[in-house]
Amino acid sequence: MNISFNALLQKENFSKDDIIRLLKASGEQEKALFKRSHEVKLEYIGNKVYFRGLVEFSNICKKDCLYCGIRATNKEVNRYDIADEQILKAAKFAHEHKYGSMVLQAGERSDPAFVDRISQLLRDIKKISNNELGITISIGEQNPETYQKWFDAGAHRYLLRIESSNAELYNKIHPNNEEHSHATRLKCLKSLQDIGYQTGTGVMIGLPFQTYEDLANDLLFMKKFDIDMVGMGPFIEHDQTPLYQYKDQLMSLNERFRLTLRMIAVLRIMMKDINIAAATALQAIDPLGREKALKIGANIIMPNITPTQERANYLLYQNKPCIDEGADDCTNCMEARINMADGEIGYGQWGDSLHYKSRH
């Protein structure tokens, strides 16, 4: 017997079938879901929204993920690697504008010189910000020694999306070789958690071959893994990638967008005190996409503070927003829009995951 949708929303623990039902909600039911997730958010973490100034400092990548615009074999990409002084300038900007935290993101690389360069950058960022700027890293799979080095140098959060918790689906969207293994991805996440990072993961939503059951399993995976932070966004096909051939089999962009909002809402109800980012990919579909995500359950936004001239070259997907605006413009327009979404910016605060704090 099916319980009523409203009774379902009040349940303490969702089964896989419950989650599938919630993810398929539309109309009044979808509205009730968003109302509930909004209430949970206010009750457990409040209406503060925290900034993470995002620096996409290099699009050089050794991996070849079948969905990603900056995959190694895409010869049409202009590869760049921003000079350390420029990265430090962006860090200074984030610090002076009271962003609280920044994210260093790049394609995957792990040669020793690169590893040492990141360690040095981390120490420099800590120094120029008097230890005030929180630092998240998002540079893919590394060995535990590297993760430890970066942790010791001052990084305290790491983002590594699992992309899909279903190993079979993962294999369909990655080349079939040692370099792209689901087991390694899991091992890396475990190692980040063991070292003591606030550990973030996420998935793409609306991938070819992906089912509602996969997505329900993704949310259950995040809960079981006891993840601290989540960033998940719609899959957006890129015409210079192999997955583009499936474009006619995908949900519409609007459906992927709504489904992402429902994923965020359900996750907020399941994991009340984690940090959830309003993914930039939402904004590629709807100019107010990130604000809608904040309203229904997300609490983190990642303003792009990459030096402007390089932004157009970090195209993981097409129609990426804000590629020709300066970081200043972004701050101003964002402040107004966050207020519109009933949020309040947590200036000058790290905005750590309350979940992580409760685990330690």
Which residue positions form the known binding site for (3R)-3-methyl-D-ornithine? 138
Stretch that binds ligand FES, among 9-17, 67-75, 273-281, 342-350 (CB under 6 A): 67-75
CA angle 57, 62, 202 (to 5 degrees): 70
Give SS3 for 146: helix
Stretch that binds ligand FES, among 30-38, 63-71, 119-127, 330-338 (CB under 6 A): 63-71
Residue 151, token pair as written in the block: 């942790």
Site for ligand 5AD in 271-310 (CB under 6 A): 281
Stretch that binds ligand FES, among 62-70, 207-215, 229-237, 289-297 (CB under 6 A): 62-70
HEC assignment per residue over 261-292: HHHHHHHHHHCCCCEEEECHHHHHHCCCHHHH
CB nearer ligand 5AD, residue 161 or residue 292: 161
Cα dihedral: 36, 204, 99, 54 (round 10): -170
Handedness of CA 289, 170, 157, 153 (dihedral sign): negative
Which of ligand 5AD, ligand FES, none does 154 bind, CB closer than 5 to 8 A by kind?
none
Is residue 65 a contact point for ligand FES (CB under 6 A)?
yes
Distance CA 213, CA 23 (A): 10
Q: Count the Cβ atoms, other than its own, within 10 Å of residue 231.
A: 24
CB of 71 to ligand FES, least distance (A): 4
Which of ligand 5AD, ligand FES, none does 341 bind, CB closer than 5 to 8 A by kind?
none
User: Residue 117: enclosing H or E segment and its boundaries?
Assistant: helix 112-128
CB of 18 to ligand 5AD, least distance (A): 26
CB nearer ligand 5AD, residue 231 or residue 346: 231
Residue 287, token pair as written in the block: 């100019």
Site for ligand 5AD in 311-340 (CB under 6 A): 316-317
Which of ligand 5AD, ligand FES, none does 262 bind, CB closer than 5 to 8 A by kind?
none
Residue 88: is it exposed, middle or buried by C-beta count within 10 angstroms (0-12/13-18/19+)?
Answer: middle
Which of ligand 5AD, ligand FES, none does 71 bind, CB closer than 5 to 8 A by kind?
ligand FES
Which pairs count as long-range contacts for 41-45, CB under 8 Å and 24+ apart, including other chains? 41/268, 41/296, 41/297, 41/299, 43/272, 44/272, 44/273, 44/354, 45/272, 45/273, 45/299, 45/354
Site for ligand FES in 74-133 (CB under 6 A): 107-108
Residue 3, token pair as written in the block: 């319980």
Which of ligand 5AD, ligand FES, none does 140 bind, CB closer than 5 to 8 A by kind?
ligand FES
Binding residues: 61, 65, 68, 138, 163, 185
Which of ligand FES, ligand 5AD, none does 56 bind, CB closer than 5 to 8 A by kind?
none
Distance CA 316, CA 268 (A): 26
Q: Which residues bind ligand 5AD (CB under 6 A)?
A: 67-68, 161, 163, 204, 233, 235-236, 238, 281, 316-317
Q: Which residues bind ligand FES (CB under 6 A)?
A: 61, 63-65, 68, 70-71, 107-108, 140
